[in-house]
Structure 1
Amino acid sequence: MAIQSVFDRLKKKEPLHVYYLYSKENFLLEEALSILKEALLSSAMKDLNCHTFHIRESDISSIISTGYTMPFMAERRVIIIKGMEDINAAQSQQLAEYIKNPCSTTSLVLIAHTGKIEKGNALILELERRGCIFPLNAISKKELPLWVKTGVKNAGKEISEEAVDYLTGMVGEDLMDIKAEIDKLILFTGNKSVIDMADVEAVVSDIKVNSMFDLTDSIGRKDFKSALKALNKIIEGGEQPVRILGMIARQFRILLKIKTLRKKGTPANRIAGIAGIFPYHLDNYIKQSSQFTEDELVDIFDKLHRTDIAIKSERLHRLIFEKLVMDLCLGKVTQSR
């Protein structure tokens, strides 16, 4: 299930007696928990009616006793149990018995930091029967742009497609990092309603970003020596391989788009907007696109795909990227596959 669909279900006004949230992503678990607290708890008495326990450090009988306690000057009490991935058989049975006869004014939120659940035990069977298991699967690359847009929209703003592409390319796929950059963008743009490319460049611009630009620009110019120097600087700075590859891929998406638009006879004054770049940089991108034929660019995307597989399965990332840069700059992209 798409993560946004899960969040939408959690926001429903009709509260459940129990929620079971599980994911390997701590950020998603915390975000889902925040949504539930907002939906279930009265802001005035939130602290008095919300209790957090850890399964390894708490007595289940005490938790259940708290569950049967009426909320204080509010409609609902929320009990959060973390570490459910470590629950033992006896605890599982006790919670299953409670869920069969829960307190009508209590919502029990069970949180498991795991990518899968152990089916067949009494607790999971009871949870499945009630339809209250919420898997928070990792957000895919395809879902990431929508997740960014939703986060910005929740803050009362919009963000352009080009800005989303640049943001995720520079920051990578770590949700915590992206959320931190979104928060900075919201503050930076003030009363401005739409976040654009210039805003993202201003907020995430630092030495690391400048080095990344040097790398992609050098590759676009087929300047192997400069590209290799920029690559080594980025790797020594501790940049994640997926971010490096993401920005290289973005560079070639732009070059291919520009080459295609020029082939169609698109006016120069429209190309920059369609390609998602500043008009100031257009001439440079046009020069770079002329360095590659259309067939070469198609082969490059295949090469990038194979590099993506390699960096996820091998550890010699520097060697993998050095070979990629050499292939891109020296024209060795059509080698046998």
Structure 2
Amino acid sequence: MKYQELMKAIKQKQVRPVYLFAGPEQYIGNMVEHTLVETMIAPGLEQLNLAVFEDKNPDISEILSVCETLPLMSEKRVVIVRESAGLTKTSDKKIVEALNKYIERPSGSTVLILCDSSPDKRKKIYKTLKEQGAIVDYDKLSKIDLEKWIGRRLKLAGKRTSQKVVEQFVIDTLYLENDNKNMEMVDNELNKIIDYVGERDAITLEDVETVMPKSVEDNVFKMVDYAMGGNKGAALKMLNQFYLEGEGPFGVFGLLLRQIRIMLMVKLLSEKRMSPDTIAKEAKLAPFVVKKVLQNGRRYRVAGLKRTMIKAAELDLKMKTGQIDPEFGLEWFVLKL
């Protein structure tokens, strides 16, 4: 089930006795946990009815004993086992059997939450939880859900803005194109903007540009565009700026190759007359990334991009084997784009 379904169930006080919070967005899971605890445990009685296990290799008998203890002056007892405890990934047969047995016949007065950002679907525990319909997916948000999330957060903060500003904010966060970006990071950036505007109720595009400096990935894309467009001076200036900001030549080189690889992939798929949305799905890229590549890369030919990738592979070997200085090699590569 999606976490939105669980939120509705919590409001109706129709929760299951066991849940697996699965997926990378455990930050959202923590918020859902908070709502569940507030709803199911009487105010001021959290210490008596809430147990959180996060130490590695916890005692399974202790966890199950707490789960089977009746709540005190509250509707439910809540037991949370963090991913750091390693309970869902254990191969200990005794622990697996004990936990599996409890999941099949859980206490009706307790809500047990197991957390795992990347659960092993082959595990017996996962299969049992799936049969029980107790898996809550916390996958990365889609563009639509992300924009809705931002809208709700701004409304709670008493702020308003335009769709254009929201879209630019989403682009600058790199959330949709970078697997390492999560909602905690997005919220932190949003809070910075909210704090920046102060008592002003409207957030403008200028506010976003001021508070959120362009990422290295975004600037690398611009550097590639400058170099391939013939503006070598601007490209080299950006390269030197990367070094001043503490980026190493191999890090910049890797990001540069990623951008060229994305351009090549998008160009190849576009030649098959695929729509931008289909290309995004096929290449596992955010739609706005595909749109940006198609807009900026119309003058680049597939054959040229392929030759560039071959040159890059040759240069990579020379830099890593000490045949050429990395900074000199990267500068030469940018000039040859």
TM range (shorter): 0.5 to 0.7
For each residue in 1:200-240, what CA deviation from the matched residue of structure 2 results, as whole angstroms up to 9, or x when unmatched?
01212489799779858956984212222213422653388
Counterpart check, 1:178 vs 2:177: no
Aligned to 1:233: 241
Contact 2:88–2:119 (CA<8 Å) still a contact in 1? no
Contact 1:78–1:108 (CA<8 Å) still a contact in 2? yes
Contact 2:221–2:259 (CA<8 Å) still a contact in 1? no
From 132, 135, 152, the counterpart of 2:137: 135
Q: How many aligned residue pairs are there?
A: 267
Q: 1:35 corresponds to which letter in structure 2?
A: V
From 111, 125, 128, the counterpart of 1:126: 128
Contact 1:71–1:77 (CA<8 Å) still a contact in 2? yes
For each residue in 1:146-183, what CA deviation from the matched residue of structure 2 results, as whole angstroms up to 9, or x when unmatched?
41541342341455343334334434231243221111
Aligned to 1:266: none
For each residue in 1:86-138, what CA deviation from the matched residue of structure 2 results, as whole angstroms up to 9, or x when unmatched?
3232212111211222222211001123254224x2x3332122101123334
Contact 2:226–2:232 (CA<8 Å) still a contact in 1? yes
Alignment of 1:244-263 (within 5 A): 245=259
From 4, 8, 27, the counterpart of 1:30: 27
Q: 2:44 corresponds to which letter in structure 1?
A: A
Counterpart check, 1:202 vs 2:204: no
Give the CA deviation at 1:15.
1.2
Aligned to 1:73: 73
In 1, Cα distance between equivalents of 2:303 and 2:119: 31
Contact 1:149–1:159 (CA<8 Å) still a contact in 2? no
Question: Helix, strand or coil for the counterpart of 2:2?
Answer: helix
Unaligned runs of 5+ in 2: 176-180, 264-293, 320-325
Aligned to 2:104: 100
Q: Would the alpha carbon gap of residues 320 and 6 (structure 1) be closer, same or farther in structure 2, given more than 3 Å must change? A: farther
TM-score (norm: length of structure 2): 0.62
Unaligned runs of 5+ in 1: 250-293, 328-337
Contact 1:52–1:79 (CA<8 Å) still a contact in 2? yes
Give the CA deviation at 1:184.
1.0
In 2, Cα distance between equivalents of 1:51 and 1:214: 50
Aligned to 1:7: 3
In 1, Cα distance between equivalents of 2:295 and 2:153: 42
TM-score (norm: length of structure 1): 0.62
In 2, Cα distance between equivalents of 1:304 and 1:17: 59
Aligned to 1:84: 87
Identical-residue share of aligned pairs (%): 21
Q: Would the alpha carbon gap of residues 230 and 22 (structure 1) be closer, same or farther in structure 2, given more than 3 Å must change? A: same
In 2, Cα distance between equivalents of 1:40 and 1:136: 18
State the Cα RMSD in Å: 4.5
Q: Would the alpha carbon gap of residues 202 and 299 (structure 1) be closer, same or farther in structure 2, given more than 3 Å must change? A: same
Aligned to 2:275: none
In 1, Cα distance between equivalents of 2:108 and 2:68: 9
